[in-house]
Structure formats: C-alpha cells, structure tokens
C-alpha cells in the first residue's frame, strides 16, 4: 500500500502529461494542415480574384484588370488582400488565420498562418498568461500561361524595340502608362440602386429579363441576364438576411434548380453616402448554401 501510494501520483501525472502532449501535437498538426490548405488555395487561384478558391471555377467574363500584375500585385494592395482573405475564409474560421504575400518579381509567395485553438502555458511569459502558437505554411504562385506569353512577346518584340525605341522614348511611354486615365481609381460607389444596375449591365453585357416562379412569389426580375445564361443582381450598401433578401435568394435557388438560369451572381456595391457595402455573415452563409456566387466590388 505504501508503494502504491507513492507510485500512483507519479503514474497519474505521467498519464495526464502524455495525454496533453498528444492533444497539443494533434492541434498543432491540424493548424499546420489548415495553413497549408489556405496557402495552396491562394497560390492556385492568384491569377484571378473571381475564382472560387476551392474549385478554381469562375464565371466567363469575370477577370481582374488587364494590368493587375503591374498595378495590384504587391504586398498591401487591395487586390492582394482580397485574394488572401478569400482563401483564408474557405480554409476555416478567418479570425484564426492570417496571411501575407511577397513579390520579388522572380519569386512570388503566399504564406498563411493559423493559430491553434489549444492554449498552453508559456514559461517565458508573465505568470497567469498563456501563449498561442501560430503555424505557418508557404506556397509559391505559379503562372505558367502568363510566363509563356511573356517569353513569346519578349522574343518577338525585343529586336524591334531595341532598333527603333531609344531609352528616352521608352521612359516617356512608361510614364504615360502610369499616368493613364483610371489608373489607381478605387472601386465604384453609387448614390442609387439604378446607377448600380446600369453599371452592372455594362460590366457583364446583360439585359433585364423576367422569369416566372412557382414556389416563391410570381416572378423573378433579373437585372442583368448575360449571353451565357447567368443572372446578375446588383445590391447597394450593406444587406442583412431579412425577409426580402430571403425571398429573393429562394427565387434564385428555384431558377437554378429548374435549369431556367445557368447560375446566379449577387454583386454588392458601395453606397456613396454611407460607405456601407456587402452582405452580413448570416446572409453570406445563406447565399453560399444555395450556390449563389457573391462578388463584393471593393
């Protein structure tokens, strides 16, 4: 009994310690795996911010600016942040993930860091506090199609440029390009819903179309129906999952389920007077659940 009384606390402490070591290792491994998924998804879909980070799919006609590699492909740019945030959201709770982007021209890399939910005491910190470990993973951005086009363009035009364009002329052309109309402009903001609809119709080349519904209401008015059979809708300012929004998304779900449209995209634009934009978290989840694509024009 004396031996048991002496050994039991030691065995119990060792068992509990081993359990916590296993739990800690498992949680850290999960965090590293999640960070790796987020980094790989961001690098995979980096050439187009409209891609679905999971599948890589995007609707025809939805591309970034033609010169985004020159104007928006650098750390801290709004376009780079939007691409990184999209990958983080699909990998897990965005509040636990952080991302960074590095562009050294010849080497572009996306790094994602994930904080494990396991809080372990850290002896290096003040007593009573606990440290949270962040696991990082990095993925390289590969753009093979653009690389082949760039090499082909350089091989074709470099001899001509070298013969006919002086250094002074080249510098002047670059300066004119950087000061071109529209360069550096922020995303559009509108005062009224009609302005947003007009902009959306010109953006996707769509027209107004009305389709009858049976399960919800009597019809669905599509604000911009493009030539690919995709329905686009414009929403101005911040939107919540209220009764009106739910009715509209149920109509769109019915149209997609019956094959009356090939897809539905909800475009959210910034309201000029308040600066509000985008769906609430509840509305975003409802839209994603029903397969409706969300585009926030920030």
Alpha-carbon distance of 90 to 83, in angstroms, equals 11
Distances in Å between the Cα of 209 and the Cα atoms of 163, 223, 233, 292 are 54, 7, 11, 18
- Residue 128 is predicted with a pLDDT of 44
Residues of the chain with pLDDT under 50: 127-129, 182
Alpha-carbon distance of 23 to 53, in angstroms, equals 30
Tens digits of residue pLDDT in 28-40: 888 888 888 888 9
Per the CB < 8 A criterion, the answer to whether 99 and 88 are in contact is yes
Per the CB < 8 A criterion, the answer to whether 193 and 203 are in contact is no
Alpha-carbon distance of 99 to 187, in angstroms, equals 23
Helices 78-91, 2-44: inter-axial angle, 10-degree rounding: 140
Burial class (CB in 10 A: 0-12, 13-18, 19+), 57: exposed
Alpha-carbon distance of 32 to 112, in angstroms, equals 9
Question: How big is the chain, counted in residues?
Answer: 298
Q: pTM for the complete prediction?
A: 0.47
Distance of CA 181 to the CA centre of its chain: 27
User: In the structure encoding, which two tokens stand for residue 169, read together?
Assistant: 């002329």
Using DSSP bridges, classify how beta strands 130-131 and 134-140 pair: parallel, antiparallel or unpaired: unpaired
Token pair 């209401």: residue: 217
CA-based end-to-end distance of the chain: 72
Per the CB < 8 A criterion, the answer to whether 63 and 50 are in contact is yes
User: In the structure encoding, which two tokens stand for residue 293, read together?
Assistant: 């694509």
232 has which bridge partners?
224, 265
Alpha-carbon distance of 161 to 167, in angstroms, equals 10
Per the CB < 8 A criterion, the answer to whether 110 and 42 are in contact is yes
Q: How many CB atoms lie within 10 A of CB 290?
A: 15
């Amino acid at each position: 009994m004396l031996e048991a009384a002496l050994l039991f606390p030691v065995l119990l402490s060792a068992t509990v310690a081993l359990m916590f070591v296993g739990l800690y290792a498992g949680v850290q491994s999960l965090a590293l795996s999640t960070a790796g998924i987020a980094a790989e998804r961001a690098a995979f879909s980096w050439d187009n911010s409209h891609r679905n980070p999971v599948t890589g799919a995007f609707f025809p006609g939805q591309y970034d600016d033609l010169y985004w590699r020159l104007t928006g492909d650098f750390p801290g740019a709004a376009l780079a942040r939007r691409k990184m945030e999209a990958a983080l959201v699909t990998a897990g709770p965005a509040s636990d993930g952080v991302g960074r982007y590095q562009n050294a021209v010849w080497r572009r890399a996306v790094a994602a860091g994930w904080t494990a939910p396991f809080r372990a005491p850290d002896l290096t910190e003040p007593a009573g506090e606990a440290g949270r470990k962040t696991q990082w993973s990095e993925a390289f951005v590969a753009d093979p199609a653009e690389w082949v086009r760039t090499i082909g363009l350089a091989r074709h035009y470099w001899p001509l440029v070298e013969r006919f364009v002086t250094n002074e002329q080249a510098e002047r052309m670059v300066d004119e390009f950087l000061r071109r109309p529209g360069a550096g402009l922020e995303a559009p903001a509108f005062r009224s819903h009609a302005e947003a609809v007009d902009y959306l119709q010109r953006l996707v080349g769509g027209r107004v179309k009305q389709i009858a519904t049976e399960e919800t209401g009597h019809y669905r008015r599509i604000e911009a129906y493009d030539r690919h059979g995709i329905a686009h809708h414009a929403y101005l300012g911040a939107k919540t999952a209220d009764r009106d929004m739910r009715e509209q998304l149920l109509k769109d779900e019915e149209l997609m389920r019956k094959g009356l449209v090939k897809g539905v995209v909800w475009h959210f634009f910034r309201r000029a007077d308040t600066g509000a934009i985008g769906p609430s978290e509840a509305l975003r989840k409802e839209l994603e659940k029903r397969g409706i694509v969300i585009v926030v024009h920030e």
